[in-house]
Every structure is written in structure tokens, then in C-alpha cells.
Amino acid sequence: MPPPPAKNRNIPAGQPPSGQPRRRMASRDAAERSAFFARREAAGVLRRVLRGDASRRAAGSIKSLVYSPSVRNKRATFALVCQTLKYLPILKEVLASSGLLTSKWKKQEDLVYVTAYDILFGQETAASGSVEQLILLHKDVLLTALEKICVRRNVHSAEDLVSKKNTVKPKPRFLRVNTLRTTTESVIEDLNKTHTVEKDDLVPDMLVLPPGTDLHNHHLVMDGKVFLQGKASCMVAVTLCPKPGWKVIDACAAPGNKTVHLAALMNGEGSIIACELNKERAKTLQHTIRKSGANNIETINGDFLDVNNNDPSYAEVRAILLDPSCSGSGISTERLDHLLPSHSRGDQDDAGTSSRIRKLSAFQKKALSHALSFPSVERVVYSTCSIHQAENEDVVNSVLPLASSLGFELATPFPQWRRRGLPVFEGSEHLLRTDPEDGLEGFFIALFVRKSAVDAAKPGDGASAAGKQARRRRSGIMPFSSLRLSRMMLCSTGPLWRR
């Protein structure tokens, strides 16, 4: 009697053969159903990551895409995306040798990659689904191809084929208390029940927890009472130090963490205009604002360069935060860029001299010059999450003549911070850099203050002034009631939008 057809050999026990009715998903084990949906969510994120990497126009980091509101099973999705990217070169080679990625399945190749990883290297749990059936049906063929690759490369297992470089050094878990919704003391009391918590000694309302602390599903995070935001990122808004009642522009605002930090520093008073060019990122910005409870933020889905500085509606703008698009080289490890195909090909911007860096730098210079040109602006912060001189010191140096002609000078944010700008021009000691050696991300901050400004006691003393504001908030009444915290946000999708 001839053996059964090959297509039936790898169907798990209890699963109906091809052509028979499948069991309903409701009858599946909860773990299988969770894995099934996690693969679909992971495939959606993987598609956006790979397309962005191929075009060098990332829609966001892996983390930001996974932890967006649209993804439900964040932990499982994050693990699947990272592991699939880690094994992607091997998966592509194995699938190519098997001939599975035909035109039919090419349209679902992201899901094929995720499912192949999960079945070959992961938990091997497969709920009903056409892609799962495809991989299970050819599992023996795929494993044979994998064994041949290992023999050819003289390694013992698939794990030996995976690059182990660029491992992430553990950093403390920083979080910022959203003082629009709660107080630092109450958050500490809550977190102390299950975690070790310390106050940061530099940034007001910032708490420090041990590395690896996972708070993504904590009720304080879900309710917008705390934001999982890096210390260096929080130093940017504190440097700007806007006063309650001011009119402020956040020029390149998404995902919105710095925007809502500004609102908290302003005690919810005054107004913030948050600009974001990218339509999808503008949605993320709006979600962040709603989550924070800030009701003094107007969002503009458009280009900051299109904002007319002579328009009377912007005549009273007194502070601008400019954190423009940059290479992200300072947070490439946190962004997990080493998992991307472009990194493995050696396409990353190693010395900051690529054409992409030059284009970014040209835009950054235009944006900074535009920010300085607003007639009533008194404080402008320029920041990047880049380590490249071309995006940092060179940009600042290029606008210094214009800044001086408009009455601006460089001030010194966080004077006690030891790491300053690269010594490439006179005055670079006023600039601020952070570095992974400091246990932080790689950030750059420059503060321009108009000499005629009389708003603050001392230029650059952002941390102390913000600390005084925070102490006043903690000793007083919270500015908003819960009834006012829902949907009080304006959104313009008018002619400022451009591709």
C-alpha cells in the first residue's frame, strides 16, 4: 500500500485534513488563539518596518509601531517582530530553497516570515489559518533546508547562524509623571508596592526604576498618569522652560511625548500649537494628547516650514521646540535598528556623511532658521536624537549669524551636566550632549535665548525653574477635573498638509 500523500504527513493530531471543515476559532485553546492573532499583528508591524527600511523613510521605530494603540497583544507582537527580524536572513534563504514564496504567497510574505519563525524556532503553536497550514505542511522540507545551511556554514544549530552583535546594554527604566493627571508622590506610593522607585536628581517629576522593568500594561501607563519616556528626551522640554500662559509651538511634534510634557510644565495654561507633517504620525500625536488630558494643545497636520511667521495668529508665540526629523543614530540601539536588513547590509550611516544625512541636515537648518524668525519668540530649543556632528553642531553653527542678527545667543541648559558639544566652534560649550555612556540615549540640545527677553531669572536655568513650577503644582489644586479631560483638542487638516 503506498504511503499517504506528502501533504498530510505534517498535519498535527486532531486537526482535520485539507478539504474538511475546520474547527471554529472559538473552540481553540486560548494560547493558540492568542498566537494566531499575535502573528497577524506582528506581520502588520513587520510590513511597515521592512517597507520603511527599504525606502529609508521609516514610519516609526519597531517599538513605537508595536506600542501604538492599534496593537493589542503588545508583548507577544514585539517578541515576534524582533525574533523574526533576527532570523529573517535565514528564513528567506530557507523559504527560497523550498520554493514556498510563490506569487500566491508573496502577497502575504510578512505573515509567512512570522509564521515560519514561530513554527520553526518559536513555540510551534499553530491555530487554523492558511499560512499556518502552508508552513506545517512543508515543515520537514524547511527543516531539511535549514540543516543543509548549517552544514554548509559549519555550525551546529540555527542559533549559531544569527548575529549576536549589537546587544542592548540594560539601561534604567525612566518614566515621567504626568502632573496634569496626578502627582509624583502618589505615583511613587503606587509603584513602591511592587517596584523599587527613585526620583531622578536632575529632571523634575522623573522616576527611575531598575532595567528591564516592564510597565507597558501598568494601569498608571494605560491611564496616562505616567509616560514611559527617556530622561534625555525629557531634558528637551525642561530646557525650553515655557511659562504658564505662554503661546508655544512644537514644530515637529509626533509622537507627542515632548508636546504633552510642555503642557505639564505650563500647568495646562496658555496654548501649544503642535505641527506634524506625516498623516499617520499625526494620529499618534492626537492619541498621546488625549491620553495626557492636556486641553491646551491644537494640532496641525502640516509642515512647520509652511507656518507663516508673519501671520497675526503667531505674533504672540514666545517659545518654540524644534525636534526635527533626524537619523536617529543616538537611539539606534533602543530602536533596534541593528535588526533591520539595511543594517546587516552595512547601509547604516556610520560617519554621518551619507546623502541622507546631508538632506536631513539641510532641512534641519531651514527649520531652525524658520523657528528663530518668529517676531516675539524668546526661547528656541533645537534637539535631535542623533550623534552626528552634521546634524548637531554644524546645524547650530550655520545659523549663528542669523541668530545673532535677530538678537539671540546660545544659553547653557543644565549647567551641571558635564557632557557638552563637540569643540568645533567658539561657544559649543553651551551645547548639551547625552551618550549611552551616561546610561541614556544619544541626544543633542541647543538653547537659543533672545537677549532682550525678560521672562526668566537666568537663561538656561530650565531645570530649576521647572522644579519650582512642579513644587507649586504639588502643593496646590490639580488644574483639571476628569470631566474636562476627554476630547478638547482642535485638529486642522487644511492646506498646510503636503507630501
Q: What mean pLDDT, rounded, does the chain reach?
A: 81
CATH code linked to domain 231-492? 3.40.50.150
pLDDT in tens, 279-293: 989 999 999 999 999
Which residues in 58-81 are b (16+ Cβ under 10 Å) and which e?
Answer: bbbbbbbbbbbeebebbebbbbbb
pLDDT in tens, 40-80: 888 888 888 888 777 655 556 777 787 777 788 788 888 88
Across the range 240-254, mean pLDDT stands at 97
Q: Which residue has the higher pLDDT, 90 or 444?
A: 444
Across the range 429-455, mean pLDDT stands at 88
pTM of the model: 0.67
Give residue 483's pLDDT: 28
Q: Take residue 310 and report the three cell numbers written for it.
A: 508673519
Whether the pLDDT of residue 21 is over 50: the answer is no
Whether the pLDDT of residue 484 is over 90: the answer is no
Cα(62)–Cα(363) distance, integer angstroms: 24
* Cα dihedral 38, 120, 122, 109 in deg (nearest 10): -30
Across the range 309-338, mean pLDDT stands at 83
User: Element (H or E) spanning 94, and its range?
Assistant: helix 74-98
| Matching residue, cell 488563539 | 33
Where do you find CATH 3.40.50.150 in the chain? 231-492
Give the contacts of 280 (CB within 8 A, at least 6 positions apart). Answer: 59
Which residues in 274-290 are b (16+ Cβ under 10 Å) and which e?
Answer: bbbbbeebbbbbbbbbb
Domain 173-227, classified CATH 3.40.50.300, yes or no: no
3: left (phi over 0), alpha (psi -120 to 50) or beta: beta
> Identity (one letter) of the amino acid at 46?
L
Give the contacts of 53 (CB within 8 A, at least 6 positions apart). Answer: 340, 341, 342
Cα(477)–Cα(292) distance, integer angstroms: 18
Q: Take residue 52 and report the three cell numbers written for it.
A: 520603511
Give residue 488's pLDDT: 32
Least confident of 7-11, 123-127, 216-220: 7-11
Query: At residue 411, what are phi and psi to the nearest 5 degrees?
Result: -110, 175
Catalytic residue at 385? yes
Least confident of 88-97, 178-187, 392-401: 88-97
pLDDT grade, residue 417 (50/70/90)?
Answer: very high
Alpha helix (H) residue ranges in 101-246 = 103-106, 109-120, 130-137, 139-152, 184-191, 219-222, 231-240
Give residue 493's pLDDT: 31
DSSP state of 423: S
What percent of the chain has a predicted confidence (pLDDT) above 90?
Answer: 47
Of the residues 234, 275, 385, 491, which is catalytic? Answer: 385
Give residue 120's pLDDT: 86
Least confident of 219-223, 412-416, 452-456: 452-456
> Identity (one letter) of the amino acid at 465?
A
Cα(58)–Cα(256) distance, integer angstroms: 17
Give residue 149's pLDDT: 86
329: left (phi over 0), alpha (psi -120 to 50) or beta: alpha
Cα(91)–Cα(115) distance, integer angstroms: 10
Cα dihedral 409, 414, 415, 418 sign: negative
Give residue 292's pLDDT: 97
Give residue 81's pLDDT: 85
Whether the pLDDT of residue 413 is over 70: the answer is yes
Q: Which residue has the higher pLDDT, 475 or 278?
A: 278
In 136-279, where do the E strands start and end? 173-177, 198-199, 206-209, 226-227, 247-250, 271-275
Whether the pLDDT of residue 123 is over 80: the answer is no
Across the range 33-44, mean pLDDT stands at 85
Q: State how far the alpha carbon of 191 is from the alpha carbons of 194, 211, 219, 221, 474, in Å.
A: 6, 15, 10, 11, 18
Whether the pLDDT of residue 362 is over 80: the answer is yes
* Cα dihedral 365, 371, 375, 378 in deg (nearest 10): -110
Where do you find CATH 3.30.70.1170 in the chain? 173-227
Q: Determine if the peptide bond prior to 255 is cis (ω within 30°).
A: yes
Cα(258)–Cα(275) distance, integer angstroms: 12
Q: Take residue 287 and report the three cell numbers written for it.
A: 492619541
Across the range 107-118, mean pLDDT stands at 88
Whether the pLDDT of residue 459 is over 50: the answer is no
